[in-house]
Structure 1
Amino acid sequence: MRPRAKQVRSHSSRKVMSMLNPASSTRVAEVRPVTGAWRSAGPLFLLLLAVLLALYWDTASSMVEIWLRSETFAHGLLVVPIFAWLVWRKRGALSNVSPQPCLWGLAALALSLAGWLAAEVAGVQVVRQLAFVASIPALVIAVLGWRIAWVIAYPLAFLFLGVPMGENLMLPLMNFTADFTVGALQLLNFPVYREGTFFELPSGSWSVVEACSGLRYLISSVTVGALYAYVSYRSIWRRAAFIAASFVVPIIANGFRALMIVLLAHYSDMKIATGVDHIIYGWVFFGVIMLLLFWVGSFWQEREAEDVPPEAGSAAWRPVSAFRTAAVGIAAAALLAGPLLYVAQLAQRQLPPLPGLVLPVEPGAGWTLDQEVALTDWRPTFQNPDRETTLQYRRNDEVIVVHLAWYGRQRQDAELINSGNYMIEQEHDVWSNVGERILPVTPHALRETELRSSRLRLLIHDWYVVGDTPTANGVIAKLLFARNLLLTGDDAGYAVVLYTKKLEDRAKSQALLREFAALLEPGLEKAVSP
């Protein structure tokens, strides 16, 4: 009778503990033996995944190359192993659901591949990569079914964090950091002179460059935060709230980091926080902030519950027709091959005849071609243009330089809209980017950039021309390229860059460039004609 009484007390104790800690009663999925449905659908999915990687290897390898060369996106090297670990943790739940091929998955796969094709035609690498990653969940739904996709929905969504994206946040983050730092210094009664992302204190000069934007911190924080939210919470709202916090907190923290570095340098007479230690202090500060974020988040921590898909009872174990599984596999393989066949046809296009890019010697209003004494040796950087020229014009003491870069056919590493095309590279030895903005002027918008060196300041106006349509927006230019290629088979385009010495009166320099652009544009169509 004693063992019986002990057993009762043990059962009662477990019941009390279950009431005190509901999470401890979470159902734990047991791993079932592999069923016949898994034996057929599992290898089929792995085969189609291998086909996807083989056919779209250029897209997959482009992500890996960015992970390897960019510190900002180096986290991508960990995304796939973490995804595999997250799926492995769900092996018990997965074994309790039988694969059920789903036609909606084929529709999702077709939509993903259509997005890849559109991005390939337009030459938008990040959309190409996003569409490639989106094809993986689509394959899961098509071959294994939506119930299995539900079980590993979060890990599948986590894969998208491996796509190198977010560089368009660089400039807004730089401006926010500069605004925050200068505003805080002014609140502390420091005399500050600001110009764009540059500011000066009595103790020294500072600039918020790309490395100070906080983009690396932000991307790392969101990635780690998404992982922490998944393993720490089971509520969708708690996960979403923590991910949102991992996005907002590093942006604000980066402002404090920049302020801390400026104050350290100021009070040390510019002896600390100005060299390598500048970066070290930044990462140490970021590490402390992340630890604090995790510590606060731990107060709402929950044990992870088993992800049981809706209607996962007997309906989840319906027998699956071998014919249906095979038909879905064949359809998926055909969809995977389709876009590449069309791209192969596009690749056969010949480069159109090269234009002369000959501009008038005297465009009017007293301007004449002058190649004797160059205003500057600076040139905008364009990657592998099919034709490029730089000409300088003078009117008395006024000088304007014209740079044209023409691309007859958009292809990888030789396209008008590309991250390799820029006014100035990051952390240049001579030139610094003071700032840039879009000017909504007539007859079309312009992008204005200001560069400065120790001897000269340049004001730059530039825009793109796709077909016969000018635009200063890279996204619109990409869409125009895709439209022209699909409708006419032609995707030629060129960039126009005008620059002059920036005067004390900025408006006068702007008016000078716009006046010259009005004289130049009527002759551009002839200049780019073969």
Structure 2
Amino acid sequence: MRLHETTGGSGQAKGVFFVFFPLALSYGLVLWLMRSSLFQLHDKWTQWDQAYSHGYLLVVVCLYYIFKNLPEKLRPLRYGWIYSLLAIVPSLVWLFGYATQIGAIEQIALPVFLACLVLPVVGLRQFTPLIFPFALLFLAIPLWEVLIPILQAFTVSVSTIGVRLLGIPAYINGTSFSLPYGNVLVAGSCAGLSYFLMAIVLSSINSIHRNYSIKQTVLTVLLMTGLAIVGNWFRVYTLILIAYYSKMTSSLVYEHGMYGWWIFAGTFFLYLWLIRNIPERRKASNAAQNPRSYKLLYLNLVLALVCAVAVPVWFMSGKLQSSYQHRPLAVSGFEQVSPAYANARLRVHFRGYDIEEFVRARVDERLWLIGRKTYVDQTQGKELITEINYIAEHYTKRLTHKLASGQALNVDVVEIRGPKLVVSTYLIGSKSIAQNWQGKLTQFKELLAGRSSNALWYATIACDSYQCNDELASLEGLLAPVDQWLSDSALY
């Protein structure tokens, strides 16, 4: 009897090893290929005072529970190759994000990659307990800033009610509380996103650890999340009170990072006390039938791995890259001018370009300046279409014009060393695109066609009035020439 038990334990350990080791190697290979996405996440996760400082901890805990819940014994899946093919989906999603420099899309694909490597090995039925740990990994992806305006609005509303109830004299304008002794600003960092995410993370991990049912998990996560939100309201409200009663002299008014986490710790202990009587469920056995051979499992895993890495490897090997042959900016009737001359008249806020060129000419007695900033190659942080690139900080007017060729142009009235009219568009491969998201989609299509270089194109004139009314009127008669200027400026 003892001999039988020892052999069974050894067989289980051997089975776990045969599953764990190939999966760990596969994870390592996939993450190494996607390391550019991991570097972006590392930058976020190591900002210890920001919303995603829980990233590394969450990944370690989730991977622990994923591998812990792997079946001790596996049954070979005759049709597991169908699950293996699903790895193509995150591969294409990651490629789109990587090729268009949209970091969030790259990062969203990573947890799906990892899940698609496990599914063909364990099968759909055995994969079900692993869905929650895989889903939790998305809380480490920097895409939850969309919640900041909502959380911030609730925080301001609650603080406003509290200030009015106590009769504190304050002028409230948006997110600013003007007190008799100074101003308190409820900034985006005061919205409580970091506490919100940490509450979901901790309560979810607790639910996995205690093997709660779906209903219990939802209720306990909502409870902890609600406590964290209320705790942040209390934090902001008390800081306003401290600012008022201390006449802005308290150190907490200026340094209150740890103050918030002490309040969060209190809400977490309250959460643990409230759920103390929720019974833990007994864990069901995760052992499946003992396979005769692991050969079929390994074949499914290898096929999934090939589907996961084939497209990224193909892309990184340069199959989609083109050798761009630079065409100097030459517009009929225009003369070349230096960047120093052009930037002295209008400097647009675009960074990371490889080549900048300018030409000028008088058209209808007005001096037009045309600029083209070319991005021969793009990487994350060195891209054409991004929120940190813009024509001007403030726009008096924003319009859109359609040319006879069907190409769209952005028409802006800006105040940069006097009022100016700026006509601009993106040269995406062989296309001209005015809108950002449309530009990203076109960039991917052009890249697949071998045209990887892009540029910002713009033309500008100085205005006689603040609204540029005369210049806007004259532009209506110049749409055909502008169409030709754009054609002469094409990259391909």
What's the TM-score once normalised by structure 2's chain length? 0.71
Name the aligned partner's letter for residue 384 of structure 2.
L
Deviation at 1:99, TM superposition (A): 4.5
- State percent identity of aligned pairs: 19
Contact kept, 8 Å, 1:151 with 1:308, in 2: the verdict is no
In the other structure, the counterpart of 2:280 is 303
Q: Is structure 2 residue 415 aligned with structure 1 residue 415?
A: no
SS in 1 for 2:183: strand
Q: Is the 8 A contact 1:38 1:99 kept in 2?
A: no
Query: Could you tell me which residue of structure 2 aligns to residue 480 of structure 1?
Result: 442
Give the superposed CA RMSD: 5.3
- The structure 1 residue matched to 2:120, chosen from 137, 142, 150, is 142
Identify the match of residue 192 of structure 1 among 171, 177, 184: 171
Q: Does the CA-based 8 Å contact 2:426-2:456 persist in structure 1?
A: yes
Q: Take 2:204 and 2:263, find their aligned partners in 1: how far apart are those partners? A: 20
- Deviation string 1:394-423 (CA, Å, 9 cap, x unpaired) is xxxxxxx9997543433233212447x267
Q: Using the alignment, how far apart are the partners of 2:323 and 2:342 within structure 1? A: 38
Q: What is the letter of the counterpart of residue 482 of structure 1? A: F
Q: How does 1:380-391 map to 2 (within 5 A)?
A: 380=349, 382=351, 384-387=352-355
User: What displacement does 1:141 show?
Assistant: 1.6
Does the aligned pair in 2 maintain the 1:463–1:495 contact within 8 Å? yes
Q: Which one of the candidate residues 74, 86, 101 is aligned to 1:98?
A: 74
Q: Distance in 1 between matches of 2:313 and 2:423?
A: 40
Determine if the alignment matches structure 1 residue 77 to structure 2 residue 56. Answer: yes
Select the residue among 216, 220, 227 that pairs with 2:198. 220
Once residues 384 and 61 of structure 2 are traced to their aligned partners in structure 1, the CA distance between those partners, rounded to angstroms, is 36
- Residues 111/374 of structure 1: CA separation in 2 closer, same or farther (3 Å cut): closer
Distance in 1 between the 2:224 and 2:398 partners? 34
Paired residue type of 1:301:
I
What pairs up with 1:446-525 in 2 under 5 angstroms? 466=428, 468-473=431-436, 475-486=437-448, 488-494=449-455
1:78 Cα deviation after fit = 0.8
The answer as to whether partners of 1:354 and 1:408 remain within 8 angstroms in 2 is: no
Give the SS at the match of 1:277.
coil
**Residues 462 and 191 of structure 1, relative CA distance in 2, 3 Å threshold:** farther
Distance in structure 2 (CA, Å) of the matches to 1:174 and 1:513: 42
Alpha-carbon shift at residue 229 of structure 1 (Å): 2.9
What is the CA-CA distance between 1:303 and the residue it aligns to?
A: 0.8
Instruction: Report what 1:325 is aligned to.
Output: 297
> Which residue identity does 2:52 align to in structure 1?
F
**In 2, are the aligned partners of 1:106 and 1:332 still within 8 Å (CA)?**
yes
Match of 1:120 among 83, 98, 107: 98
2:59 alignment partner, SS class: helix
Mapped to 2, the partners of 1:373 and 1:50 lie a distance apart of 47
For residues 45-86 of structure 1, the C-alpha deviation after alignment (integer angstroms, 9 at most, x for no partner) is: 333233323333333344234322463322112123212443
How many Å apart are 1:339 and its aligned residue?
1.1
CA gap of 1:526–1:373, structure 2 versus 1, over 3 A, is closer
In the alignment, the residues of structure 2 paired with residue 360 and residue 512 of structure 1 have an alpha-carbon distance, to the nearest angstrom, of 23
| Residues 171-320 of structure 1 mapped to structure 2, 5 A cutoff | 171-174=149-152, 177-178=155-156, 181-182=159-160, 185=163, 188=167, 190-194=169-173, 197-198=175-176, 200-232=178-210, 234-247=212-225, 249-251=227-229, 253-272=231-250, 275-292=253-270, 294-295=271-272, 297-298=274-275, 301-308=278-285, 316-317=288-289, 319-320=291-292
Q: Which amino acid aligns with 1:131?
A: A
Give the AA of the match of 1:153. I
SS of aligned partner of 2:133: helix
Separation in structure 1 between the aligned mates of residue 93 and residue 115 of structure 2, nearest angstrom: 15
Contact 1:87 1:152 in 2 (8 A): yes
Q: Which residue of 1 aligns with 2:108?
A: 130
1-side partners of 2:471 and 2:155: how far apart?
Answer: 31
* CA distance 1:156–1:100, change in 2 (3 Å): farther
Tell me the distance in 2 between the aligned counterparts of 1:43 and 1:210: 44
Residue pair 1:45, 1:144 contacting (<8 A) in 2 also: no
Look up the match of 2:11.
34
- Provide the rounded CA distance (Å) in 1 between the counterparts of 2:162 and 2:333: 52
2:124 is the counterpart of 1:152? no
Cα distance in 1 for partners of 2:40, 2:132 equals 24
Shift of 1:124: 2.0
Contact 1:104/1:141 (8 A) holds in 2: no
1:395 alignment counterpart: none
3-state DSSP of counterpart to 1:271: coil
Give SS of 1:490's match: coil
Amino acid at match of 1:156: F
Residues 388 and 241 (structure 1), Cα distance of their counterparts in 2 relative to 1, 3 Å cut: farther
What do residues 148-195 of structure 1 show as CA deviations (whole Å, max 9, x unaligned)?
A: 42343333333333333323444554555455545654565644252x
Shift of 1:318: 5.3
Structure 1 match to 2:313: 341
Deviates more, 1:54-63 or 1:128-137: 54-63
8 Å CA contact 2:342, 2:358 repeated in 1: no
Amino acid at match of 1:410: Q
Q: Which moved more, 1:517-526 or 1:141-150?
A: 517-526
Structure 1 distance, partners of 2:240, 2:474, is 42
Q: Could you say what secondary structure the match of 1:200 adopts?
A: strand
Q: Is the 8 A contact 1:115 1:131 kept in 2?
A: yes
Contact 1:234 1:305 in 2 (8 A): no
- Please point out which of 145, 156, 159 is paired with 1:167: 145
Equivalenced residues, count = 459
Distance 1:201 1:512 in 2: 46
Give, in whole Å, the separation in 1 of the partners of 2:187 and 2:21.
49
Task: Quote the Cα distance in structure 2 between the aligned partners of 1:80 and 1:215.
Answer: 19
Greater Cα offset, 352-361 or 238-247 = 352-361
Q: Displacement, 1:326? A: 4.1
Which consecutive residues of structure 1, in runs of 5 or more, have no partner in the other structure? 1-30, 362-369, 392-400, 425-432, 452-459, 500-507
Q: What is the CA-CA distance between 1:127 and the residue it aligns to?
A: 1.9
Summarize the Cα distance change of 1:257–1:356 in structure 2 as closer, same or farther, 3 Å threshold: farther
Q: Cα offset for 1:128?
A: 1.6
Can you list the C-alpha shifts for 1:507-529, whole angstroms capped at 9, x where unaligned? x8798998899889766665665
Q: Distance in 2 between matches of 1:51 and 1:325?
A: 18
Q: Which residue of 1 aligns with 2:41?
A: 63
Opposite residue 304 of structure 2, the aligned amino acid is A
CA displacement, residues 281-321 of structure 1 (integer Å, 9 cap, x when unaligned)? 333333333433x1465156231431456xx7xxx315344
Q: 1:483 to 1:284 in 2, by over 3 A?
A: same
